[in-house]
Amino acid sequence: MEPMEPVRIGVVGVGNNISALLQGVQVYRNLEAAHGRDAEGLPGVTRCDIGGVRVTDVRISAAFDVAAQKVGLPLTEAVFAAPNNYPRIVEVLESQPVKVSPGARFDGVPEHLAALVPVDAHADRGIEGVVEELLDTRTEVLLYSLPTGSPQAARFYAECALRAGVALVNCTPDPLATDPAIAARFTAAGVPLVGDDLASHLGSSVVHRTLLQLVADRGLDVDRSYQVNLGGNADFKNLLVRGEAKRTSKHNALGDTSSDRVCVVPSGGYVPVLGDQKVGYVFVEALGWGGMPATLEVKLTVQDSSNAAGVIIDLVRLAALARRAGVGGPVHGAASLLKSPPPGDTDRSPDAFDRAAAELARRITGTPLPGEATAVGEAAVLGGSLG
């Protein structure tokens, strides 16, 4: 694949996810420096290259946050500021010219009034300021990664992306790609929109779903099952309060394997000593031959923000390809990496992602795919946003 320009990313929320993203990219740059840029098999990387953009071809071009301890700092320092607790995994981070800009504040607006208030009226920083910074920094993709549960903030930054013509990736369950009105505006504006809600690189939901499916495939009957998750980062503290929405979302993530014999506890507790680690306990009791029980007891331990960054790295590259290819609206093909993909994007296989990326790359370079005479079926791959 032809090399392409590095992707320029603006980040909203300089939390653990951005620390993991920035440090991880540095880890892989160091590996490439040691083993050559064409190194295959970078550990923990799903796709070294997507349409000519390698995992190391991403740059943070802008950053927004509201925390006093982060705003104004160089990004490479801000990612280590409290309450961030993702561990330091590289000794030296290459300096980057980006400082953290003040983002919009929405805390003071009561929830029940928020819908009535114009989206930027109560922002410290107006939409114009954010848009200007995105344009000045030639940002291609805006990565929205604030704590769950700020639908106003989500809509504010969606508006910014629309006005600046910058692709948006929504890491949170606050609905953007799954909100028909918002999705329509991105389609109309020709701006790509990727979301909603990151699936984990390797998370409790996919482990739970896989085991329930395995039991069913083998012909045993699930008698009772549960999943409970523990964590110690800010996101987890937040979940304790907003558990019900997340519970629904996680039940959805189980798909057909869900039932009233299956209980999901998205956050079983805020456990500070876990730091940025996340622990998931999964239990499955099935009835086998003669009704005799078979049980599976699982503990999953992951670095929560690595689990996010390992997915973000693919989504931002997909979003950049879509923008470069001139394809707007909800981008299809990423359902394997999202908890709530846009309506109609139902293929959760990794292949669907690869096919969508290949088609976007083809459009950018103008080269037909091998053995492909016409663009038949491309709408199915890329969604309804194609002109």
Instruction: List residues near its own copies by CB under 8 A.
Output: 20, 23-24, 27, 41, 43-47, 89, 201-202, 206-207, 210-211, 214-215, 217-221, 223-226, 228, 230, 261-263, 265, 268-269, 271-274, 279, 281, 283, 286-303, 306-307, 309-310, 313, 350
List phi, psi (to 5°) of 340.
Answer: -125, 80
Nearer to its own copies, 151 or 266 (CB): 266
**Least distance (Å) from its own copies to the CB of residue 275?**
8
**Least distance (Å) from its own copies to the CB of residue 5?**
23
Q: Please name the residues in contact with 19: beta carbons below 8 A apart, sequence gap of 6 or more.
A: 79, 80, 84, 86, 305
d(CA 275, CA 22): 19
DSSP state of 109: S
CA 122 to chain CA centroid, Å, is 27
Nearer to its own copies, 121 or 292 (CB): 292
**Least distance (Å) from its own copies to the CB of residue 264?**
9
Q: Is 7 exposed, middle or buried (0-12, 13-18, 19+ CB in 10 A)?
A: buried
Nearer to its own copies, 163 or 251 (CB): 251
**Least distance (Å) from its own copies to the CB of residue 91?**
12
Q: Percentage helix, strand, coil, to 5, in the chain?
A: 40, 20, 40
Nearer to its own copies, 68 or 289 (CB): 289
Q: Please name the residues in contact with 36: beta carbons below 8 A apart, sequence gap of 6 or more.
A: none
In this structure, are residues 345 and 383 in contact, taking their beta carbons and an 8 Å threshold?
yes
Nearer to its own copies, 137 or 306 (CB): 306
Nearer to its own copies, 165 or 288 (CB): 288
Dump strand ranges (E) for 157-220: 167-170, 192-194
**Least distance (Å) from its own copies to the CB of residue 220?**
6
**Least distance (Å) from its own copies to the CB of residue 165?**
29
d(CA 17, CA 166): 20
Distance between start and end Cα atoms, the chain: 26
Nearer to its own copies, 187 or 306 (CB): 306
d(CA 109, CA 363): 44
